[in-house]
Structure 1
Amino acid sequence: MSDVEFDELMARLAGDPDDPELVREVAYAHDRRGLEHEAVPYYERALALGAADRLGIFTGYGSTLRVIGRFEDAVKVFEQGLAEFPSDPALRAFLAMALYNRGDARRAVSTLLTLLAEKDQVGPYGRAVAYYAENLDETI
């Protein structure tokens, strides 16, 4: 997005600050420009205003929080998103990254193993991978 396009988007928002879809687009635009810290309040407003693309907002918002080091907040956003979109693979993958970043490697690996097994990405080993997703520490 060029500077001119970004400035035009911000001017449109100034003229209609409560348009949830416009607020969402401004959040995305900030992220694309590497302005993650500045994107956060727009994501929050987009959710509060009831923007239609809630899945995209949860994914973008949580990812942005993770990137800026707010790992606990990112986990909360991803979990909130998964309450509405429980099977979304992107939310689950990003949740695993945030879990890892906050030091919960076991839950992160379990989340990814479960996702792999459910999406049939491990061929005939699906049952075993699904089992060990819940029993990572089991050995004989």
Structure 2
Amino acid sequence: MKELEKAIQLRESGQLEEARCLLLELLNKEPMNPSVWYQCAWIHDVMELEREALPYYKKSLELGLSDEERQGAYLGLGSTYRTLGMYDDAKLILEEAIEEFPNRREFQVFYAMVRFNQKAYSESMEILLKQIAETSNDKGIQTYKKAILFYSDKLDQTWD
């Protein structure tokens, strides 16, 4: 699909309005193509038109995306809900993504942001501390990995 590839190249090179116009034209030609819906969502997100991106993300997921695009659409939709203050929706979408793609850590990080926004500070910190301890190559973090993991869910606890 040459037109879709061209639209992606336009987006990547910063020619956002041109990419958006091409994608919207392409959507009229191929209304059942989930990749076109996903790219429409993405371009609206990049252009800071988050609210306009929502229906494109939703439709792309409904139509059935390949794994990589599906992961991107989940993350985009969850993040967009969060930036619009729609925290409950963001939480639900990111929980779906975590269930479907449990090894993709980026979902955990965005989920932690949502939980922070929902004032679940302890849970948010626990998620982030675990991600840091499990993924960091930093020597100091690795030295204290066991302690970081141990305390990750005990931040409000004190010992006498």
Q: For 2:18 and 2:71, how far apart are their aligned partners in 1?
A: 28
Residue 131 (structure 1) aligns with: 150
Whether 1:6 aligns to 2:20 is: yes
Residue 80 (structure 1) aligns with: 96
Larger Cα Rg: Structure 1 or Structure 2?
2
Q: For 1:2 and 1:101, how far apart are their aligned partners in 2?
A: 30
TM-score of the pair, normalised by structure 1: 0.94
Q: Is the 8 A contact 2:16 2:43 kept in 1?
A: no
TM-score of the pair, normalised by structure 2: 0.83
Residue 62 (structure 1) aligns with: 78
Q: Is the 8 A contact 2:20 2:43 kept in 1?
A: yes
1:28 pairs with 42, 46, 71, which one? 42
- Structure 2 counterpart of 1:14, one-letter code: N
Deviations 1:27-74 (A, max 9, x none): 101101111001011111111111111111111110110001101111
Q: For 2:71 and 2:147, how far apart are their aligned partners in 1?
A: 30
Q: For 1:50 and 1:101, how far apart are their aligned partners in 2?
A: 30
Gaps spanning 5+ residues in structure 2: where? 1-14
Percent same amino acid at aligned positions? 32
Q: How many aligned positions are there? A: 140
Residue 8 (structure 2) aligns with: none
Cα offset, 1:136, TM superposition: 1.8
Deviations 1:97-127 (A, max 9, x none): 1111111111100110111111145121111
Whether 1:103 aligns to 2:122 is: no
Between 114-123 and 16-25, report the one with greater CA deviation: 114-123
Q: Which has the higher contact order (CA 8 A, sep 6+)?
A: 1
